[in-house]
Structure 1
Amino acid sequence: MKLKIQLYVLSLWLLFILLFINKVSFPTCFGINCGFISFQDILEMNIIPSISLIIVILGFIFYFQFKYIINGNRSLPEKISKIENLNWEHLTFLVTYILPFLSFNLGENRNGLIFFLSLIIIGFIYVKTNMFYTNPTLALLGYHIYKISTANNDGIIIITKDIIKKDDWIKSKLLSDNIYIANKT
């Protein structure tokens, strides 16, 4: 469960980078009477970008934890008998969730509350339904999604950095239910 939540937060990494870029504000002054305002004033002007930056940093931490978890033991090699490429699911997540969230007017308290409640609800649904593998950040990091069948497993989802084809051999590690991380052997 912890891994699923971490991967969901990692999926929001892109949203919060874009949100940071969209909302960050630094005062500029060109002239003789310019002076430095305090760091506290800059922080107060950038509450949403500061929260975004914290979530981006958490995403990096979770990514390194994910890398550590997936480097563990793998199963014996299995031959792929059937394969379906599911890389398009990254785009579905991106277009359905990430882009619409950028249009929220977070300057209004009610919209900010709705924004974060929506993220929590969507996260809960993604974790409960095992859809965390549709993470667009994983696509940016070079991972692919496939639905495969082998002699021992039918219709499992694998996440891999390799390009997989029918009759390839893979070693996999269970992440959750029918979702595995795999490497080509």
Structure 2
Amino acid sequence: MNFLYRTLLTFNATSLILVIFLIKDEITLNSLHEKLNILPNYASYIAYFAIPIILTFLSLFISKYLGNANISKGTITEIENANNAFLPSYLGYFFVALSVNNCDTLLFVFFILFVFTFLSQTLYFNPLFLIFGYHFYNVSTSNKAKLFIISKNQITKIDDVEFPSLKRINNFTFIDKSI
């Protein structure tokens, strides 16, 4: 289950590169079937964007089946908001999608990004989680562990923070299901 979940998270984290490319090249659903010719181009673009959103929702839904973990109150030594830390890297994906000239090159670049994101096994930053109200945190614990937590909680001070209902994505990345 964990392998499939991490694969889905990796696809969700990298799929917007495909959406941006399809929009940039004005590839629309109209060309699939003659009955779709009546659709305006923006209908295709909305459909393309909806797919990663739906898959992100699905990944949030099935996260309840992952293994359990927790971080007790008093064991957290540092918390850093990571919402904005990964945005520059993610914007780099957009610039790549805008500069790629053909579909073959895009698929090759997407495959490379997908493999490296999957194998990194440390972070599954997906800006679409922000749409669902999640935030990203780098958390350091008293036993020197550095963890990446995806949570709906907005954390402003470290004193009372605990994560009693974490779901383990891997040994460094967790999603908080306490809400």
Instruction: Show the counterpart of 2:125.
Output: 134
Q: CA deviation at 1:14?
A: 3.4
State the TM-score, normalized to the length of structure 1.
0.69
Instruction: Show the counterpart of 2:69.
Output: 75
Unaligned runs of 5+ in 1: 28-36, 106-110
Q: CA deviation at 1:4?
A: 1.9
In structure 2, what is the Cα distance between the partners aligned to 1:160 and 1:184? Answer: 8
Amino acid at match of 2:6: K
SS in 2 for 1:133: coil
Instruction: Check if 1:10 corresponds to 2:12.
Output: yes
Q: Which has the larger Rg?
A: 1
Which among 151, 163, 170 is matched to residue 163 of structure 2?
A: 170
Structure 2 CA distance for partners of 1:116 and 1:25, relative to 1, 3 Å: closer
Instruction: Show the counterpart of 1:31.
Output: none
Matched length: 164
SS in 2 for 1:5: helix
In structure 2, what is the Cα distance between the partners aligned to 1:26 and 1:158? Answer: 37
Per-residue CA shift, 1:148-184, capped at 9, x if unaligned? 1335672111111111231212121211121111256
Q: CA deviation at 1:54?
A: 6.6
State the TM-score, normalized to the length of structure 2.
0.71
Q: Is the 8 A contact 2:123 2:148 kept in 1?
A: no
Amino acid at match of 1:124: V
Identity %: 24
In structure 2, what is the Cα distance between the partners aligned to 1:152 and 1:116? Answer: 42
Unaligned runs of 5+ in 2: none
Which among 88, 91, 94 is matched to residue 95 of structure 1?
A: 91
Q: CA deviation at 1:60?
A: 4.4
Q: Is the 8 A contact 1:146 1:157 kept in 2?
A: yes
Structure 2 CA distance for partners of 1:93 and 1:135, relative to 1, 3 Å: farther
In structure 1, what is the Cα distance between the partners aligned to 2:29 and 2:77? Answer: 56
In structure 2, what is the Cα distance between the partners aligned to 1:122 and 1:89? Answer: 18
Instruction: Show the counterpart of 1:159.
Output: 150
Alignment of 1:8-157 (within 5 A): 8-22=10-24, 23-24=26-27, 38-39=34-35, 42=37, 53=47, 56-57=50-51, 59-72=52-65, 74-76=68-70, 78-79=72-73, 80-105=76-101, 111-151=102-142, 154-157=145-148
